[in-house]
Amino acid sequence: MAISILTIIYLIASVTFILGLKMLSNPHSARRGNLIAAGGMTLAIFGTIFLYKREDGGHLQNLAWMFGALLIGGVGGAVSSRKVKMTQMPEMVSLFNGMGGACAMLISLIEFNHVTGSIPSINILKLSEVITGGKYIAIIIGLVIGSVSFAGSMIAYLKLSGKLKDISFKGQHIFNMILFGLIIVMAIITYNTHALSSPLYFYITFALAIAYGIFFVMPIGGADMPVVISLLNSFTGVAAACGGFLYNNNAMLTGGILVGAAGTLLTILMCKAMNRSLLNVIIGSFGGNAAAAAAAGDQGHYKEISLADAAMVMSYANRVMIVPGYGLAVAQAQHTCHELEKILTDKGVEVKYAIHPVAGRMPGHMNVLLAEADVSYEKLEEMEQANEDFKNTDVVLILGANDVVNPAAKNDPASPIYGMPILEVEFAKTVIVNKRSMKPGYAGIENNLFFQPKTSMLFGDAKKVLQDLCAEVKNA
């Protein structure tokens, strides 16, 4: 009876995961969808703790350890999530994703030790005669993908938080391919060696997977980082699904498959938005020093605009398009930006937001940023629609965005971002760019948009500039 109840619980949890994922596609239902999926996960966790039966027919033991871990993890996650700033959200996503990969990795390590630890010392069989092929595949895939996801996510976390720079060396991609090949070879050797000797090869495979995860992410940076985060997220989902196979846990299996599939689709869509293949992202990362040097040069002179003039231009415009970027998140100015939008709207100005798919440091970064400030979803325009509207826009206000508005992506074959679709802000009548300085963006290359005749620079912290603009626009 307990097994049938647990099966029903897993089915309910799986349905809530699917519903929650579906509801996340719309900002109006996203929060409710998140709560529904979290409720399903909570049901599955407690159902497993109290109703799951081991192979010997007994229930799970060590409940104190389980609830202690739940308490520590739950409190730690809740506190850190409430304290995190929007500028630190990408690092937190990477960190949490890495924890998911670590869990899948540890499951594989524990299950392998469980299998090999019960083998008598006089055993002369190969590992392939002790464990079924299907179970071994689930263990080794969970180990390798979980390790890559964990190590890669930790490197991504360190790079996004500014604690680690992009590191690459000549022949690194060949080195990575050799590492990957060794992982496959060692996984095969482990399965076909003496059962009592197999742990040595298994742990060598584990060490190689950790090394591969580090070297896989190490050279990737700049505009490619959102794609890498999405890809690592899909890895974690696949690794978790392997744990579902091992434990015959349908909720874990369904959740892992959903995360893996969603992460893969998002990665593909983001690569499409950048007009690049996934292989190109992995092999030819944006933002290298050589690329920056190649794109650097004498671009000419830029012109500045005063706050009063910027406020006057926007106040008497028919349409204003705001392009949010990472600089807006750094300044935590999303609420002030929304206030400016409302002031302009009250003056009869049509205000929209142009959102580039890879703006910021993680997938959907700008959408989350603006949603936090209660910006209406109807005011957000995706890149294709925004590019159509720029031709009829009086003023474009760029807040901290750089690479996603760089015309070099269209007209400079030597640029490392050449071919990436951008927000074509240069077609608007007037372009106002708010930046702290003239330093290059995250991809490390110069932006010739800043030197065009219709572009004016408005230097300063985004929050302070927007606050002053609000005051000026009210008096205009």
Is the confidence at residue 417, as pLDDT, over 70? Answer: yes
Q: What is the SS3 string spanning 275-333? A: CCCHHHHHHCCCCCHHHHHHHCCCCCCCCECCHHHHHHHHHCCCEEEEEECHHHHHCCC
Q: What six digits make up the tokens of 104?
A: 């899948």
Which is more confidently placed, 331 or 337?
A: 337
Confidence grade of residue 439 (pLDDT, cut at 50, 70, 90): confident
* pLDDT given for residue 373 in this prediction: 87
**Does residue 407 have a pLDDT over 70?**
yes
In the chain, count H helices and then E strands.
18, 6
211-237 burial: b if 16+ Cβ within 10 Å, else e: bbbbbbbbbbbbbbbbbbbbbbbbbbb
Token pair, residue 456, equals: 């004016």
Euclidean distance between CA atoms 25 and 337, whole angstroms: 24
CA 118 → CA 113, 190, 202, distances in Å? 8, 17, 16
Residue 112's pLDDT is 94
pLDDT of 71 reads 94
Residue 299 identity: Q
Q: What is the pTM of this model?
A: 0.81
DSSP 104-161: HHHHHHHHHHHHHHTS-TT---BGGGTS-HHHHHHHHHHHHHHHHHHHHHHHHHHHHT
* CB-count exposure of residue 443 (10 Å: 0-12, 13-18, 19+): buried
What average pLDDT does the segment 309-336 reach? 91
Residue 295: pLDDT band by 50, 70, 90 thresholds? Answer: very low
pLDDT tens across 203-220, in order?
999 999 999 999 999 887
Q: How confident is the model at residue 300 (pLDDT cuts 50, 70, 90)?
A: low
Phi, psi of 20 (to 5 degrees): -60, -45
pLDDT at 291: 44
Inter-residue contact 126 to 201 (CB < 8 Å): no
Q: Is the pLDDT of residue 285 over 60?
A: no
Distance, in Å, from the CA atom of 223 to the CA atom of 2, rounded to the nearest integer, reads 51
Region of residue 144 (phi > 0: left; psi between -120 and 50: alpha; otherwise: beta): alpha
CB atoms within 10 A of CB 243: 24
- Tell me how crowded residue 153 is: count the other CB atoms within 10 A of its CB: 28
pLDDT surpassing 60 at residue 289: no
Q: Give the Cα separation of 434 and 270 in Å (integer).
A: 26
Q: How far is C-alpha 304 from the geometric centre of its chain's CA atoms?
A: 35
The one-letter amino acid code at 54 reads R
Mean pLDDT, rounded, for 418-432: 90
**Digit-coded pLDDT (tens) for 188-201:** 999 999 888 899 99
Query: pLDDT value at position 434?
Result: 93
446-457 pLDDT tens trace: 888 999 999 999
CB 78 within 8 A of CB 69: no
Alpha-carbon gap, residue 92 to 96, rounded angstroms? 6
Q: Are strands 380-382 and 395-399 parallel, antiparallel or unpaired?
A: unpaired
Mean pLDDT to the nearest integer, 390-409? 91
Average pLDDT over residues 96-120: 91
Catalytic entry in 403, 412, 461, 468: 403
- What is the Cα–Cα distance from 6 to 250, expressed in whole angstroms? 10
Tokens standing for 148?
């890559």
Q: Sign of torsion, CA 270 274 279 282?
A: negative
The answer to whether 340 touches 473, Cβ cutoff 8 Å, is yes
Nearest residue to 188 via CA among 178, 179, 199, 201: 201
| Mean local confidence (pLDDT), 104-113 | 94
* The pLDDT value given to residue 331: 85
* DSSP labels, 179-236: HHHHHHHHHHHHHHSBTTTHHHHHHHHHHHHHHHHHHHHTT--GGGHHHHHHHHHHHH
Predicted pLDDT of residue 290: 42
Annotation says 403 is catalytic: yes
Q: Which two tokens stand for residue 201?
A: 């090869």
- Assess whether pLDDT exceeds 50 at residue 288: no
Q: Do residues 433 and 468 make contact, with C-beta atoms less than 8 angstroms apart?
A: no
pLDDT(130) > 50: yes
What are the structural domains, with CATH classification, of the chain?
A: 87-283 (no CATH), 299-475 (3.40.50.1220)
